[in-house]
Amino acid sequence: MKYNCDKIEKKWMQEWSKNNYADWKPTENAKKKKKYVLDMFPYPSGDGLHVGHVENYAATDIYSRYSRMKGFNVLHPMGWDAFGLPAENYAIKTKQHPAQVVEKNIKVFRRQIERLGLSYDWNRKINTTDPKYYKWTQWIFLQLFKHGLAYEKEAPINWCPSCKTGLANEEVVEGKCDRCGTPVERKKLKQWWLKITAYAERLLSGLDQLDWPNSIKEMQKNWIGRSEGSLIKFKLKSGDVNIGEIEVFTTRADTLFGATYLVLSPEHPIINILKNHADNAKEIDRYINEARQKSDMERMDPTKTKTGVEIKNIQAINPANNQLLPLWISDYVLVHYGTGAIMAVPAHDERDFEFAKKFGLKIIEVISPDQKEHQLNAAYTGPGYLLNSGPFNGLDSEIAQDKISLFIGAKKSVFYKMRDWVFSRQRYWGEPIPIIKCPKCGNVPLSEKDLPLTLPKVKSYEPSGTGESPLAAISSWVNVKCPKCGGPAKRETNTMPQWAGSCWYYLRYIDPKNSKQLVDPKKEKKWMPVDLYMGGAEHAVLHLLYARFWHKFLNDSGVVSTDEPFQKLINQGTILGANNEKMSKSRGNAVNPDDIVKQYGADALRLYEMFMGPLQAAKPWNTEGINGVSRFLNRIWNLFSAQIKINGGEKNNPTTAKTINQTIKKVTEDLENLDYNTAISALMECLNALTAKEGVKIKKSHLEDFLRLLAPLAPFITEELWHQMGHKTSVHKERWPKYNKKMLREKEFDLIIQINGKVRDKVKAMVDINQGEAERMALNREKIKKILTGNHPKKIIYIPNRLINIVI
């Protein structure tokens, strides 16, 4: 009889859900060691689950099931990250309320996930749009506000004209909106910011202790972008009049004698003062205006040539040698990094070189690897020895950095590329920011007892595009009394970005129904940190950085006991279409997991995705590949059906016993390392060995061990066969099998005979023979004798129980 996967899988799906998923519930007071296995929770989109979700969730499910069988107390939860732009945009498009859309989509996701046999403890499910949940998101915001880490500031921000909202730097990819690909504009808006920069150093140093992929750690390091350098002050002169000073940041104080001009960012505030002393104020105004008009895309375009304007009649004094330097304005200097001003050393900086060439500015070589002067065709940015640097000539450039800094009294300083996080969005579908704006008292935080501040129902939740949230239109909600002075005040109408809810959700799973606290500290201590966190690599500098920031803050506030939330992180590789391109509807190469489940079953889909290749690697979908695992399951079904019919044997077959023991060893090691592809290979080899002799009775315990090994990978078929073998309890409650070392010991091995490193022959030999015996065996072989005629072995290398290499 053929294996009817659909019928059997549905039967067990219902059986498992019967008692509220009791089997997957961790015990709170167990003495068992804990394991917290977490998936990046999905945004429940209208498209339903895709094969990438399945890869992610199947992988952690296998690990969770395996860990339970190993005796761990496993926390494996799931929930919904349902606020944010995609839900809102979809709702607008289909003319529904975002809450309705989310509710519908969650139902679909839940059904699909259950159909895959994923062993989540659904009693702990969370939803970021549930007021009982976002009460605590708002609560964290209030704590940040009270600690001065949430502040309001008017500044030019990234503005997506299509999504009609501000964006964080992390959400801008190549000058375009991460969501919709529209080029981002600059817009000056009053916004809420989170002071993530206050944690820059700790976010950087904390990476060392994490078991994360190198690439993600590197991305975060680069994003934080720490630079050590010196702050150098340049006095300014207009004619003989002193008119203040400008401070610049440099990592190359050793090149100070090569500075031939200074450059200010067009947005630098000092320009307003300097303009009054300049001959060409009009020209300066024109340049600054042009720069302001340019989009980020235009300003950052690496192919464009540098532009700039000189502030005429003003000069800076080089503190090292009192040389007078011209002062320029150019948009290649960024206002928000360092001091917004630089000293230009064209000989040793590519950008300065290009600028100097274009505007005919002096180029003075001060660093030379061979201590000689050169005709420079490009900037030399490497290390070397100092030239043209007065008392410092001949000094190693590394050493000169400190010496010159000291000489001119420069301050050592550290800057980071990372900027504060723009935290408000001009959209409807997000957590309301719990702040009241009072004309007398300023920003007044809502009292904690007034949380949650629920998102009001609104007729039109479409973005206004004016920089105001749709919430601003609901006067009954907006107009309130100031909690401090009782006077008329207004609510903050911006909402939080989609990342807010996901910054701390892993904590809520630990204690999802607690109405008094974000999380009970006892429970938090028990379960944190997350032992295995899995999800896509696209969150490298978004969610994964934001969550670490909040976690460190919560740690400082005493809410959590650990410094880092996610100890081990694994990124599953992207599943590509059969044509090796990214899966998408428009490319026509998308695979719908529902179709696969219908045709082959959930076990087959899970097994196939795990068998495709290493978890972390990107791999193309192969429609025919799934036949292989489907056949594998059918052959298991046939073997067990036949064995159950002949009612198993109890006689021990040493060959089978060895096969089973080897498989237990291999599968255990592979599951431990999440090498699921090779674990499945090993089980296939095992099955091939078991089915080799038809009609032979196989010992019941061997068959049972095989089912135990396969159970985490293919939960449905193993449960069915386990029960067919007469068991009344679940195979998933079984203990993980152990192998017997004695059974693995071999008596014989294949002795490989090499001549000059080339395999020429092989012969069966007893394990642990010594070199003399091995040599005798090898040299006695006819084939070897033939090759050796006329040659005398110079040297013989014997690797015990492996090979012998005869060198001639």
Partner RNA sequence: GCCCGGGUGGCGGAAUCGGCAUACGCGAAGGACUUAAAAUCCUUUGUUCGCAAGGACUUGUGGGUUCGAGUCCCACCCCGGGCACCA
Q: Which of residues 762-801 bind RNA (CB under 7 A)?
A: 762, 783, 795, 797, 799
Pinpoint the alpha helices (H) of 673-805.
Answer: 676-691, 700-710, 715-724, 741-744, 771-779, 782-788
Report DSSP state, residue 367.
Answer: E
Return the residue of 629, 660, 664, 713 that touches RNA, per CB under 7 A: 629
**How far is residue 373 CA from its own chain's centroid?**
47
Q: Which single residue is written with the structure tokens 């723009």?
A: 422
Query: Which residues between 681 and 700 bind RNA (CB under 7 A)?
Result: 681, 684-685, 688
Q: Which is nearer to RNA, 121 or 296 (CB)?
A: 296
Q: Which is nearer to RNA, 273 or 797 (CB)?
A: 797
Return the residue of 124, 548, 666, 702 that touches RNA, per CB under 7 A: 666
Residue 694 buriedness (CB in 10 A; 0-12 / 13-18 / 19+): exposed
Q: Which is nearer to RNA, 632 or 722 (CB)?
A: 632
Q: Which is nearer to RNA, 105 or 255 (CB)?
A: 255
Q: Which single residue is written with the structure tokens 């050493």?
A: 399
Return the residue of 444, 752, 763, 769 that touches RNA, per CB under 7 A: 752
Residue 206 interacts with RNA (CB under 7 A)? no
Shortest Å distance, C-beta 304 to RNA: 6
Residue 212 neighbours by CB under 8 Å, 6+ apart: 566, 568, 569
Return the residue of 472, 664, 707, 803 that touches RNA, per CB under 7 A: 803
Position 341, amino acid = A
Return the residue of 675, 705, 719, 720 that touches RNA, per CB under 7 A: 675
What span, in angstroms and rounded, lies between the C-alpha atoms of 672 and 658?
Answer: 21
Q: Tell me the CB-side half-sphere exposure of residue 35, using CA atoms within 13 A.
A: 21
What span, in angstroms and rounded, lies between the C-alpha atoms of 193 and 549?
Answer: 13
Q: Which is nearer to RNA, 338 or 463 (CB)?
A: 338
Shortest Å distance, C-beta 789 to RNA: 13
Report DSSP state, residue 617.
Answer: S
Rg of the chain, C-alpha, whole Å:
34
Which range in 182-190, 369-377, 383-391, 677-685 contacts RNA by CB under 7 A? 677-685
Q: Which is nearer to RNA, 577 or 613 (CB)?
A: 613
Query: Which residues between 381 and 410 bind RNA (CB under 7 A)?
Result: none
Shortest Å distance, C-beta 456 to RNA: 35
Assess contact for 59 and 534: CB atoms under 8 A.
yes
Q: Which two tokens stand for residue 486?
A: 């009782």
Site string for RNA, 341-380 (x = CB under 7 A): -x------x-x-----------------------------
Residue 807 interacts with RNA (CB under 7 A)? yes
Scored b (16 or more CB within 10 A) or e, 513-542 reads eeeeebbeeeebebbbbbbbbbbbbebbbb
Query: Which residues between 244 and 263 bind RNA (CB under 7 A)?
Result: 249-252
Q: Which is nearer to RNA, 126 or 680 (CB)?
A: 680
Residue 415 interacts with RNA (CB under 7 A)? yes
Assess contact for 91 and 105: CB atoms under 8 A.
no
Residue 555 buriedness (CB in 10 A; 0-12 / 13-18 / 19+): middle
Return the residue of 368, 405, 469, 754 that touches RNA, per CB under 7 A: 754
Q: What is the DSSP string of 692-718?
A: SSTT---BHHHHHHHHHHHTTTSHHHH
Q: Give the 3-state secondary structure of residue 788.
A: helix
What span, in angstroms and rounded, lies between the C-alpha atoms of 630 and 461?
Answer: 48
Q: Which is nearer to RNA, 517 or 622 (CB)?
A: 622
| Signed CA dihedral, 663, 666, 669, 674: sign only | negative
Q: How many CB atoms lie within 10 A of CB 665?
A: 17
Ramachandran quadrant class, 225 (left: phi over 0; alpha: psi -120 to 50; beta: rest): left
Q: Which is nearer to RNA, 451 or 633 (CB)?
A: 633
Q: What is the DSSP string of 467-517?
A: SS-GGGG-HHHHEEE-TTT-SEEEE---B--TTTGGGSHHHHTTSTT-SSS
Residue 584 interacts with RNA (CB under 7 A)? no
What span, in angstroms and rounded, lies between the C-alpha atoms of 493 and 65?
Answer: 45
Shortest Å distance, C-beta 752 to RNA: 4
Q: Which is nearer to RNA, 102 or 342 (CB)?
A: 342
Residue 662 interacts with RNA (CB under 7 A)? no
**How far is residue 795 CA from its own chain's centroid?**
53
Shortest Å distance, C-beta 272 to RNA: 19
Measure Cα distances from 572 to 117, 248, 435, 552, 619 in Å.
19, 44, 39, 26, 10
Which range in 78-86, 149-157, 673-681, 739-747 contacts RNA by CB under 7 A? 673-681
Which range in 123-131, 506-514, 596-604, 669-677 contacts RNA by CB under 7 A? 669-677
Report DSSP state, residue 574.
Answer: P
Query: Which residues between 719 and 738 bind RNA (CB under 7 A)?
Result: none
Query: Which residues between 445 and 464 bind RNA (CB under 7 A)?
Result: none
Shortest Å distance, C-beta 56 to RNA: 17
Q: Which two tokens stand for residue 245?
A: 């000073």
Residue 327 interacts with RNA (CB under 7 A)? no
Residue 332 interacts with RNA (CB under 7 A)? yes
Q: Which is nearer to RNA, 227 or 592 (CB)?
A: 227
Closest CA to 398 of 367, 352, 371, 353: 367
Shortest Å distance, C-beta 560 to RNA: 28
What span, in angstroms and rounded, lies between the C-alpha atoms of 34 and 46?
Answer: 35
How many residues line the site for RNA (CB under 7 A)?
A: 83
Shortest Å distance, C-beta 522 to RNA: 39
Shortest Å distance, C-beta 651 to RNA: 23
What span, in angstroms and rounded, lies between the C-alpha atoms of 212 and 342?
Answer: 36
Site string for RNA, 596-625 (x = CB under 7 A): ---------------xxxx--xxxx-x-xx
Q: Which is nearer to RNA, 492 or 670 (CB)?
A: 670
Query: Which residues between 14 and 33 bind RNA (CB under 7 A)?
Result: none
Q: Which is nearer to RNA, 28 or 750 (CB)?
A: 750
Query: Which residues between 290 and 319 bind RNA (CB under 7 A)?
Result: 299-302, 304, 306
Query: Which residues between 159 and 198 bind RNA (CB under 7 A)?
Result: 173-174
Measure Cα distances from 710 to 64, 125, 649 in Å.
14, 28, 21
Shortest Å distance, C-beta 702 to RNA: 19
- Helix axis angle, 602-611 to 51-69, nearest 10°: 90
Bridge partners for 750 per DSSP: 764
Which range in 97-105, 497-505, 676-684, 702-710 contacts RNA by CB under 7 A? 676-684
Q: Which is nearer to RNA, 306 or 484 (CB)?
A: 306
Query: Which residues between 511 and 570 bind RNA (CB under 7 A)?
Result: 537, 540-541
Q: Which is nearer to RNA, 30 or 617 (CB)?
A: 617
Query: Which residues between 207 and 236 bind RNA (CB under 7 A)?
Result: 214-215, 218-219, 222-223, 225, 227, 229
Residue 338 interacts with RNA (CB under 7 A)? yes
Q: Which is nearer to RNA, 392 or 611 (CB)?
A: 611
- Helix axis angle, 131-146 to 543-556, nearest 10°: 70
Q: Which is nearer to RNA, 532 or 680 (CB)?
A: 680
Q: Give the N- to C-terminal CA distance of the chain in Å, as an integer.
A: 61
Return the residue of 677, 690, 711, 732 that touches RNA, per CB under 7 A: 677
Return the residue of 153, 286, 631, 776 that touches RNA, per CB under 7 A: 631
Q: Which is nearer to RNA, 229 or 463 (CB)?
A: 229
Assess contact for 730 and 722: CB atoms under 8 A.
yes
